[in-house]
Each structure stands twice: as C-alpha cells, then as structure tokens.
Amino acid sequence: MERYSEVVGLPVICVDNGKKIGIVSELIFYPKQKKLMAIVLERTGCQLRKKAILLEDVINIGNDAVIVNDCSCAKKMNELEECRDLKDKENLVGLRIYSKSGEDYGTVKDILFDFKTGMIEGLELSDSLVHDLIQGRNIIPLFGKVEFSEENILVDKEAVDEMLSTGGGLIKKLLQDENQEKR
C-alpha cells in the first residue's frame, strides 16, 4: 500500500529514455469511486498549465520514484479534463470523519491506496496534536458504505470497529522501552 504523503514529492521518470519529466505535486482522487485516477506534476519554469499522468500510464510507484512508460503520457490538465470527467475530484486531506452514529473521529491527514488497483484502502486520522503525540494516529479502512461530501466523510460502524492504530505515540514508545529493559 502507498501513502499520499510519501508519493508527493517523488520524481517521475520515463522508462524509454530515463528522463525525469517532473515531480509529483498532488494526486487526484475520486471519492465516490474510492479511487486514485491521476498524478499531477509540479509546474516548471514558465509552464502555465499543470500536467498530469493517468494512473493507468504509471508502471510503478517505488520508494524513490514514480516510473512511467514514456514522456508522452504527461498531458495538460485541460486535455485530460476534456477526455475524462475530472470534475468530480475532491481533496480528502483535511476533511472531518464522522461515524453514522454522530461520533467525530478526527481529520484526514493521509490517504492509503493500492497503486495496482487505484483503490483507496484507508484514511489516516489525526484527533489533535496532543493525541497524536501521546497515542499515535489511527487508520480507518474504507469498506462498507462511505459518504463523501466537500466538508465531511461519513463511515459505517463496521469501518469504525476495524480502525487500526499506526503504532505511534509516546505511550507506545515508553511501553516498548520498558519491555526491553525487563528482558
């Protein structure tokens, strides 16, 4: 699984000539389909329009680079918007997550997705800076019925029940250190 925060900033390199064609500036998600659709490149020099690469043109997303077939897969955003319906895209980072029973679970800080299918697998949540430091962040999987709006995300009880801890936080670190000292 890939993380939004780890893909942004990676160079995009073509297999056919080894050239770097840009750096990832953002990812375009379609929340209603729970899918990643395209990778947007940073503007360079006096370039007026953003360029993007459809996910289907990406060969691999590695730890250090995004690999594509050739340089021609980078198209101007307005060209892609004409041939694909890119108007339904939304920025998920920063949205609040609520359960359908009315519980507030925090704000989306990162998006986990499967590069091969493009499917959004989960969202990393932040409850507050203090909570993140002490407890760590949680990951809520996106299965069951999920409702997306421009302001919030509503998830079913099943997703909340399956929420995972990222393993971070000072409490967990202190407990690990304590356990190692006892050994």
What are the angstrom distances between the C-alpha of 183 and each of 23, 32, 43, 78, 178?
46, 50, 54, 61, 9
Mean model confidence pLDDT for the chain: 80
Number of folded domains that form the chain: 2
Residue 7 Cα to chain centre, angstroms: 8
> What three-state secondary structure class fits 110?
strand
Looking at the fold, whether 35 and 59 belong to one and the same domain comes out as yes
pLDDT at 37 over 70: yes
Looking at the fold, whether 83 and 154 belong to one and the same domain comes out as no
CB 10 within 8 A of CB 64: yes
pTM comes to 0.77
Q: End of a domain among 72, 88, 104?
A: 88
Q: How far apart are CA 116 and CA 182, in angstroms?
A: 43
Looking at the fold, whether 130 and 82 belong to one and the same domain comes out as no
Residue 161 tokens read as: 């029940």
Q: 6: number of CA atoms within 13 Å, CB side? A: 12
What residues make up the domain containing 109? 96-182
Looking at the fold, whether 106 and 29 belong to one and the same domain comes out as no
Looking at the fold, whether 140 and 76 belong to one and the same domain comes out as no
DSSP letter for 16, please: T
How high is the pLDDT of residue 25? 93
Looking at the fold, whether 170 and 103 belong to one and the same domain comes out as yes
Looking at the fold, whether 25 and 62 belong to one and the same domain comes out as yes
Residue type, 37: M
CB 140 within 8 A of CB 163: yes
pLDDT at 49 over 70: yes
Query: 80-119 pLDDT, tens per residue?
Result: 766 655 556 677 888 998 988 888 888 999 999 998 999 9
DSSP letter for 52, please: E
Looking at the fold, whether 73 and 16 belong to one and the same domain comes out as yes
Q: End of a domain among 53, 88, 123?
A: 88
Provide mean pLDDT across the span 13-30.
91
Q: End of a domain among 34, 55, 88?
A: 88
pLDDT at 24 over 90: yes
CB 105 within 8 A of CB 161: no
Looking at the fold, whether 72 and 120 belong to one and the same domain comes out as no
Looking at the fold, whether 78 and 111 belong to one and the same domain comes out as no
DSSP letter for 43, please: P
φ, ψ of residue 177 in degrees (nearest 5): -60, -40
CB 125 within 8 A of CB 97: yes
Looking at the fold, whether 110 and 84 belong to one and the same domain comes out as no
Kindly report the CATH number assigned to the domain that includes residue 25.
Answer: 2.30.30.240
Looking at the fold, whether 145 and 70 belong to one and the same domain comes out as no
Distance between terminal CA atoms of the chain?
34
